[in-house]
Amino acid sequence: MISLAASREQTDALFDLIHPDALYERPIPERHRILFYLGHLEAFDWNLIGRQALDRPAFHASFDRLFAFGIDPPPGQLPCDQPADWPGVDEVRHYNRRVREEIDAHIGDVPEQLLHVALEHRLMHAETFAYILHQLDYARKAPPAGQRSPDREGGGHSTALLPIAAGPARLGRTEQEGFGWDNEFPALCVEVPEFAIAQHKVTNREYLEFVREGAAAPFFWTSRGGEWFYRGMWEEVPLPLDCPVYVTQEEAAAYARRRGMRLPSEAEWHRAACSSEPSGNLDFRFWDPIPVAEGGAGPRQLIGNGWEWTSTVFGPFPGFRSFPFYPNYSEPFFDGRHYVMKGASPRTAACFLRSSFRNWFRAQYPYVYATFRLVTS
């Protein structure tokens, strides 16, 4: 695994892209203000490692509590705090420095599992914060030096459905296979009937036909002068027709029904992924998607260039046990309202490319880099 120090560099670089006077903004109404994330990463590490693992005395208990947890409010229950309710930036940065000094001085005494948790939690937020940053006004952020935009033009793609033979799908992992989050355990095998899956993710071009039939436009699209545009991370561009469309799970399921098909189950995704090569657009390579035809044979880009929605409601595998040191990671979301996503997005770190990793969001949540493909029985 990469070091905790290297993962800190990844998240520190994201905050460097924001104009300082934008730290108190809330680009996504359902999420905290940006300042929360500046303190949250260190508070999480401190509460997990400094307090639980090392039993170090608290030096700023109010910050330990204030920055402990993010939010996932139900629809219609938005946060109402004001910028004045939050501490100053310099005070938060001082807290962060102290946390790092305390943890680094005792890093050799930290159990390996907790180091994995701290590292992957931070890299999850590198992606979470990317889609929050995506919604910040262009004038309030600046692209990194040497930033290169991905190619947006593709040479067309096949709409073929590829047959997948009936057989077992292996979900989850065993303790012997190394670190995983609590919802990845234990491993199990599921028998999957024969099905066919689209070779490519659904594109903006294909979804545009759906919009012209009367469907609502996806969140990342905007219309001006009768033309459609994609709101990229650093600029608005004409809709890249050969790139995958980012949509909610509800939108993906509605499109599939309209086409007489459906979304894959989590187990079907696993069966198809056995013969798929990862996309080149992952592990922070680009900020925006590339055309869907990039890749080798078989179902393309099941991993990378956008998470893929499934029809599977997020829930525990038989024998699930929550982490005693982090009981709120998975279990609060076993509520029947969150759906499993598989694969990876352009902003997903390489450590999450293991096949057992599970991501999840509400079916109506529009901000994530989530794509989909069609299947039929």
DSSP β-bridge partners for residue 197? 162, 375
The encoded tokens of residue 347 equal 């902003």
Task: Please report the beta strands in the chain, taking only residues with DSSP state E, as ranges in sequence order.
Answer: 161-164, 167-171, 188-192, 195-198, 221-224, 227-231, 236-238, 307-313, 338-342, 359-362, 370-371, 375-376
pLDDT mean over 124-131: 96
Per-residue pLDDT tens digits for 253-290? 999 999 999 999 999 999 999 867 789 999 999 999 99
Expressed in angstroms, the distance from the first to the final Cα of the chain is 39
- Rounded to 5°, the CA angle 355-125-147 comes to 95
Residue 40 C-alpha from the chain's centroid: 17
At 83 the three-state DSSP class reads helix
Give percent above pLDDT 90 in the chain: 89
pLDDT digits (tens, 9 = 90+) for 65-116: 999 988 777 777 888 899 999 999 999 999 999 999 999 999 999 999 999 9
Q: Contact at 8 Å (CB) between 47 and 108?
A: no
Residue 237 has phi, psi (to 5 degrees) of -130, 155
- Please identify which residue in the block is written with the tokens 């990876």: 344
CATH architecture of 161-376: Alpha-Beta Complex (3.90)
The structural architecture, per CATH, of the domain 4-140 is Up-down Bundle (1.20)
In sequence order, what E strands does 127-219 have? 161-164, 167-171, 188-192, 195-198
What was the pLDDT predicted at 153? 79
Examine the pLDDT at 54 and tell me if it is beyond 90: yes
The radius of gyration of the chain from alpha carbons, rounded to an integer in Å, stands at 21
CB 221 within 8 A of CB 212: no
279 alpha-carbon distance from chain centroid: 16
